Amino acid sequence: MPKVTIKDDFDLRKITDSGQCFRARELKMGTFRFITGRNILYIKKVDEESYDVSCEPQEWNSVWIPYFNLDENYADIRADIVKLGEGKPYGEYLKAATEFGAGIRILRQETFETLISFIISQRKNIPAIRKCVEQICKLSGKSVYTPQGVVSLFPKPNELAGVSVFDLANFALGYRGAYVKEAAQKVNDCIIDLRSLKDYSDQDLINELKKLRGVGDKIADCVALYAYHRTSVLPIDVWIGRAIKEDFNGENIFAQFGDKAGILQQYIFYYKRLAEKEY
Protein backbone atom coordinates (compact mmCIF):
# COMPACT_ATOMS: atom_id res chain seq x y z
CA MET A 1 0.00 0.00 0.00
CA PRO A 2 1.30 3.47 -0.86
CA LYS A 3 2.48 5.60 2.04
CA VAL A 4 2.39 9.35 2.47
CA THR A 5 4.08 11.62 4.97
CA ILE A 6 2.25 14.46 6.65
CA LYS A 7 4.19 16.71 9.01
CA ASP A 8 1.39 18.88 10.29
CA ASP A 9 -1.88 18.78 12.23
CA PHE A 10 -3.82 15.89 10.74
CA ASP A 11 -6.29 13.93 12.84
CA LEU A 12 -8.55 11.72 10.77
CA ARG A 13 -11.10 11.21 13.51
CA LYS A 14 -11.38 14.91 14.34
CA ILE A 15 -11.76 15.80 10.67
CA THR A 16 -14.46 13.14 10.31
CA ASP A 17 -16.30 14.47 13.38
CA SER A 18 -15.74 18.13 12.63
CA GLY A 19 -19.20 18.70 11.18
CA GLN A 20 -18.04 20.08 7.84
CA CYS A 21 -18.30 16.79 5.93
CA PHE A 22 -21.03 14.19 6.33
CA ARG A 23 -19.86 11.12 4.42
CA ALA A 24 -16.41 10.58 5.87
CA ARG A 25 -16.35 7.74 8.36
CA GLU A 26 -14.19 5.34 10.27
CA LEU A 27 -14.55 1.83 8.91
CA LYS A 28 -12.53 -0.24 11.36
CA MET A 29 -9.46 0.08 13.52
CA GLY A 30 -8.32 3.48 12.42
CA THR A 31 -9.06 3.13 8.72
CA PHE A 32 -11.03 6.12 7.49
CA ARG A 33 -12.89 6.56 4.24
CA PHE A 34 -13.20 9.88 2.45
CA ILE A 35 -15.02 10.58 -0.79
CA THR A 36 -14.80 13.55 -3.12
CA GLY A 37 -16.27 13.49 -6.59
CA ARG A 38 -15.59 10.00 -7.90
CA ASN A 39 -12.47 9.57 -5.80
CA ILE A 40 -12.58 7.30 -2.79
CA LEU A 41 -9.75 7.22 -0.27
CA TYR A 42 -9.00 4.72 2.45
CA ILE A 43 -6.41 6.05 4.82
CA LYS A 44 -4.87 4.81 8.05
CA LYS A 45 -2.29 6.29 10.33
CA VAL A 46 0.62 3.90 10.79
CA ASP A 47 3.22 6.07 12.41
CA GLU A 48 3.89 9.52 13.77
CA GLU A 49 3.93 11.23 10.37
CA SER A 50 3.14 8.31 8.15
CA TYR A 51 -0.11 7.08 6.61
CA ASP A 52 -1.17 4.17 4.44
CA VAL A 53 -3.36 5.36 1.58
CA SER A 54 -5.33 3.42 -1.00
CA CYS A 55 -4.50 5.73 -3.90
CA GLU A 56 -1.44 6.21 -6.07
CA PRO A 57 0.87 9.18 -5.45
CA GLN A 58 -0.45 11.04 -8.44
CA GLU A 59 -4.03 10.96 -7.14
CA TRP A 60 -2.80 11.88 -3.67
CA ASN A 61 -1.05 14.94 -5.08
CA SER A 62 -3.74 16.10 -7.45
CA VAL A 63 -6.88 15.26 -5.43
CA TRP A 64 -6.21 14.67 -1.74
CA ILE A 65 -3.57 17.27 -0.94
CA PRO A 66 -5.95 20.02 -2.11
CA TYR A 67 -8.92 18.27 -0.45
CA PHE A 68 -7.23 18.16 2.95
CA ASN A 69 -5.71 21.59 2.39
CA LEU A 70 -2.28 20.09 3.05
CA ASP A 71 -0.54 22.97 1.32
CA GLU A 72 -1.20 25.09 4.40
CA ASN A 73 0.31 24.66 7.85
CA TYR A 74 -2.34 24.41 10.54
CA ALA A 75 0.10 24.27 13.43
CA ASP A 76 1.19 27.74 12.33
CA ILE A 77 -2.42 28.85 11.99
CA ARG A 78 -3.16 27.70 15.55
CA ALA A 79 -0.10 29.54 16.79
CA ASP A 80 -1.25 32.71 15.03
CA ILE A 81 -4.70 32.44 16.58
CA VAL A 82 -3.29 31.94 20.08
CA LYS A 83 -0.94 34.88 19.62
CA LEU A 84 -3.75 37.18 18.54
CA GLY A 85 -5.71 36.15 21.64
CA GLU A 86 -2.87 36.77 24.08
CA GLY A 87 -3.80 39.17 26.86
CA LYS A 88 -7.46 39.15 25.87
CA PRO A 89 -10.11 37.90 28.30
CA TYR A 90 -10.78 35.01 25.96
CA GLY A 91 -7.10 34.24 25.32
CA GLU A 92 -7.06 31.11 27.44
CA TYR A 93 -10.29 29.92 25.86
CA LEU A 94 -8.79 30.17 22.37
CA LYS A 95 -5.74 28.30 23.55
CA ALA A 96 -7.86 25.49 24.94
CA ALA A 97 -10.14 25.34 21.89
CA THR A 98 -7.34 25.25 19.33
CA GLU A 99 -5.46 22.65 21.34
CA PHE A 100 -8.55 20.48 21.74
CA GLY A 101 -9.20 20.69 18.00
CA ALA A 102 -5.58 20.34 16.87
CA GLY A 103 -5.67 18.04 13.86
CA ILE A 104 -8.77 19.56 12.27
CA ARG A 105 -8.39 21.05 8.82
CA ILE A 106 -10.77 22.98 6.59
CA LEU A 107 -11.51 20.69 3.66
CA ARG A 108 -11.94 21.78 0.06
CA GLN A 109 -15.11 19.92 -0.73
CA GLU A 110 -17.04 19.49 -3.94
CA THR A 111 -19.37 22.46 -4.45
CA PHE A 112 -22.65 20.73 -5.33
CA GLU A 113 -22.39 18.17 -2.56
CA THR A 114 -21.60 20.88 -0.03
CA LEU A 115 -24.50 23.03 -1.17
CA ILE A 116 -27.04 20.21 -0.98
CA SER A 117 -25.64 18.79 2.26
CA PHE A 118 -25.91 22.11 4.04
CA ILE A 119 -29.41 22.77 2.70
CA ILE A 120 -30.30 19.48 4.36
CA SER A 121 -28.44 20.44 7.54
CA GLN A 122 -30.85 23.12 8.70
CA ARG A 123 -32.49 22.25 12.01
CA LYS A 124 -30.92 18.80 12.08
CA ASN A 125 -28.18 17.38 14.23
CA ILE A 126 -25.10 15.91 12.67
CA PRO A 127 -26.04 12.22 12.91
CA ALA A 128 -29.34 12.98 11.20
CA ILE A 129 -27.60 14.93 8.43
CA ARG A 130 -25.20 12.08 7.81
CA LYS A 131 -28.07 9.67 7.49
CA CYS A 132 -29.98 11.87 5.03
CA VAL A 133 -26.95 12.48 2.84
CA GLU A 134 -26.15 8.78 2.78
CA GLN A 135 -29.71 7.93 1.76
CA ILE A 136 -29.62 10.46 -1.04
CA CYS A 137 -26.43 8.89 -2.36
CA LYS A 138 -27.93 5.42 -2.24
CA LEU A 139 -31.13 6.65 -3.88
CA SER A 140 -29.65 8.57 -6.79
CA GLY A 141 -25.85 8.36 -6.86
CA LYS A 142 -23.72 5.97 -8.87
CA SER A 143 -22.36 2.85 -7.21
CA VAL A 144 -18.64 2.23 -7.20
CA TYR A 145 -17.14 -1.12 -6.31
CA THR A 146 -13.96 -1.05 -4.27
CA PRO A 147 -12.06 -3.88 -2.60
CA GLN A 148 -13.43 -2.55 0.71
CA GLY A 149 -17.04 -2.60 -0.42
CA VAL A 150 -19.65 -0.78 -2.49
CA VAL A 151 -19.73 3.00 -2.22
CA SER A 152 -22.54 5.21 -3.48
CA LEU A 153 -21.22 8.47 -4.85
CA PHE A 154 -22.95 11.76 -4.20
CA PRO A 155 -25.37 12.29 -7.11
CA LYS A 156 -24.57 14.67 -9.94
CA PRO A 157 -26.99 17.59 -10.37
CA ASN A 158 -28.89 15.84 -13.17
CA GLU A 159 -29.18 12.65 -11.14
CA LEU A 160 -30.54 14.44 -8.09
CA ALA A 161 -32.79 16.69 -10.16
CA GLY A 162 -34.45 13.54 -11.49
CA VAL A 163 -35.66 12.44 -8.07
CA SER A 164 -39.22 13.43 -7.18
CA VAL A 165 -39.94 15.81 -4.32
CA PHE A 166 -42.15 13.11 -2.91
CA ASP A 167 -39.25 10.68 -2.69
CA LEU A 168 -36.95 13.32 -1.26
CA ALA A 169 -39.46 14.29 1.40
CA ASN A 170 -39.81 10.66 2.32
CA PHE A 171 -36.09 10.38 2.85
CA ALA A 172 -36.40 12.26 6.10
CA LEU A 173 -35.84 15.58 4.34
CA GLY A 174 -39.30 16.86 5.24
CA TYR A 175 -39.83 20.42 4.08
CA ARG A 176 -36.24 20.57 2.82
CA GLY A 177 -37.10 18.16 0.00
CA ALA A 178 -38.45 20.96 -2.18
CA TYR A 179 -35.36 23.11 -1.51
CA VAL A 180 -33.05 20.26 -2.52
CA LYS A 181 -35.00 19.53 -5.68
CA GLU A 182 -35.07 23.20 -6.71
CA ALA A 183 -31.39 23.71 -6.05
CA ALA A 184 -30.46 20.58 -8.00
CA GLN A 185 -32.58 21.72 -10.93
CA LYS A 186 -31.13 25.21 -10.94
CA VAL A 187 -27.59 23.87 -10.89
CA ASN A 188 -28.42 21.33 -13.59
CA ASP A 189 -30.05 24.01 -15.77
CA CYS A 190 -27.10 26.34 -15.16
CA ILE A 191 -29.38 29.00 -13.69
CA ILE A 192 -26.67 29.07 -11.07
CA ASP A 193 -23.18 28.13 -12.29
CA LEU A 194 -21.30 26.78 -9.29
CA ARG A 195 -18.05 26.60 -11.23
CA SER A 196 -17.94 30.25 -12.21
CA LEU A 197 -18.71 31.36 -8.67
CA LYS A 198 -15.13 30.64 -7.71
CA ASP A 199 -14.10 33.91 -9.32
CA TYR A 200 -16.58 35.96 -7.29
CA SER A 201 -15.71 37.98 -4.22
CA ASP A 202 -16.77 36.48 -0.90
CA GLN A 203 -19.81 38.72 -0.64
CA ASP A 204 -20.90 38.26 -4.26
CA LEU A 205 -20.51 34.49 -3.90
CA ILE A 206 -22.66 34.47 -0.78
CA ASN A 207 -25.29 36.67 -2.40
CA GLU A 208 -25.51 34.38 -5.42
CA LEU A 209 -25.90 31.30 -3.24
CA LYS A 210 -28.62 33.03 -1.21
CA LYS A 211 -30.75 33.39 -4.34
CA LEU A 212 -31.55 29.71 -3.93
CA ARG A 213 -34.61 28.93 -1.84
CA GLY A 214 -33.62 27.36 1.44
CA VAL A 215 -30.21 29.04 1.47
CA GLY A 216 -29.79 31.86 3.97
CA ASP A 217 -26.76 33.43 5.62
CA LYS A 218 -25.58 30.41 7.54
CA ILE A 219 -25.77 27.89 4.71
CA ALA A 220 -24.26 30.28 2.15
CA ASP A 221 -21.41 30.89 4.59
CA CYS A 222 -20.82 27.17 5.02
CA VAL A 223 -20.69 26.60 1.28
CA ALA A 224 -18.33 29.55 0.86
CA LEU A 225 -16.03 28.21 3.58
CA TYR A 226 -16.13 24.46 2.98
CA ALA A 227 -16.42 24.33 -0.80
CA TYR A 228 -14.85 27.59 -1.99
CA HIS A 229 -12.34 27.76 0.84
CA ARG A 230 -13.20 31.34 1.81
CA THR A 231 -11.55 31.08 5.18
CA SER A 232 -12.46 34.58 6.31
CA VAL A 233 -16.16 33.71 6.14
CA LEU A 234 -17.78 32.98 9.49
CA PRO A 235 -20.84 30.74 9.63
CA ILE A 236 -22.79 31.41 12.82
CA ASP A 237 -24.89 28.46 13.91
CA VAL A 238 -26.40 27.76 17.33
CA TRP A 239 -23.07 26.56 18.74
CA ILE A 240 -21.04 29.56 17.61
CA GLY A 241 -23.87 31.85 18.71
CA ARG A 242 -23.73 30.18 22.09
CA ALA A 243 -19.95 30.62 22.29
CA ILE A 244 -20.27 34.31 21.49
CA LYS A 245 -22.88 34.70 24.19
CA GLU A 246 -21.43 32.48 26.90
CA ASP A 247 -17.69 32.65 26.32
CA PHE A 248 -16.99 35.98 24.62
CA ASN A 249 -19.36 38.12 26.65
CA GLY A 250 -21.61 38.75 23.66
CA GLU A 251 -18.78 40.04 21.52
CA ASN A 252 -18.20 38.76 18.01
CA ILE A 253 -14.44 38.38 18.33
CA PHE A 254 -13.89 36.81 14.92
CA ALA A 255 -13.33 39.77 12.61
CA GLN A 256 -9.83 40.49 13.93
CA PHE A 257 -8.68 37.06 12.76
CA GLY A 258 -9.06 37.99 9.09
CA ASP A 259 -8.66 35.02 6.78
CA LYS A 260 -8.36 32.74 9.82
CA ALA A 261 -11.81 33.61 11.16
CA GLY A 262 -13.49 30.67 9.45
CA ILE A 263 -10.80 28.29 10.67
CA LEU A 264 -11.08 29.55 14.24
CA GLN A 265 -14.82 29.11 13.90
CA GLN A 266 -14.20 25.43 13.17
CA TYR A 267 -12.06 24.93 16.26
CA ILE A 268 -14.63 26.62 18.45
CA PHE A 269 -17.53 24.71 16.91
CA TYR A 270 -15.74 21.45 17.60
CA TYR A 271 -14.73 22.49 21.10
CA LYS A 272 -18.13 23.80 22.07
CA ARG A 273 -19.98 20.80 20.71
CA LEU A 274 -17.72 18.05 22.01
CA ALA A 275 -15.42 19.24 24.82
CA GLU A 276 -18.04 20.52 27.19
CA LYS A 277 -20.07 17.35 26.83
CA GLU A 278 -17.91 15.65 29.40
CA TYR A 279 -19.23 17.76 32.26
Partner DNA sequence: CACCAGGCTCGGC
Partner DNA sequence: GCCGAGCATGGT
Residues in contact with DNA by CB under 7 A are 18-20, 118, 121-129, 131, 169-170, 172-175, 210, 212-220, 222, 235-240, 265-266, 269, 273
Nearer to DNA, 70 or 264 (CB): 264
Nearer to DNA, 91 or 174 (CB): 174
- Which residue in the list 3, 14, 218, 245 is annotated as catalytic? 218
14 in catalytic set:
no
CA 44 to CA 13: how far, in whole Å?
10
Nearer to DNA, 33 or 273 (CB): 273
Residues 265/271/274/278 CA torsion (nearest 10 deg): -160
CA 232 to CA 264: how far, in whole Å?
9
CA 101 to CA 103: how far, in whole Å?
6
In the complex, the smallest distance separating the C-beta of residue 203 from DNA, rounded to whole angstroms, is 14
Residues 232/238/244/247 CA torsion (nearest 10 deg): -130
CA 176 to CA 154: how far, in whole Å?
17
What burial letters (b/e) apply to 75-105, b meaning 16+ CB within 10 Å?
Answer: eebbebbbebbeeeeeeebbeebbebbebbb
CA 271 to CA 279: how far, in whole Å?
13
Nearer to DNA, 140 or 266 (CB): 266
In the complex, the smallest distance separating the C-beta of residue 251 from DNA, rounded to whole angstroms, is 17
In the complex, the smallest distance separating the C-beta of residue 146 from DNA, rounded to whole angstroms, is 25
In the complex, the smallest distance separating the C-beta of residue 77 from DNA, rounded to whole angstroms, is 16
Nearer to DNA, 66 or 174 (CB): 174
CA 264 to CA 98: how far, in whole Å?
8
Among all residues, which ones are annotated catalytic?
Answer: 218
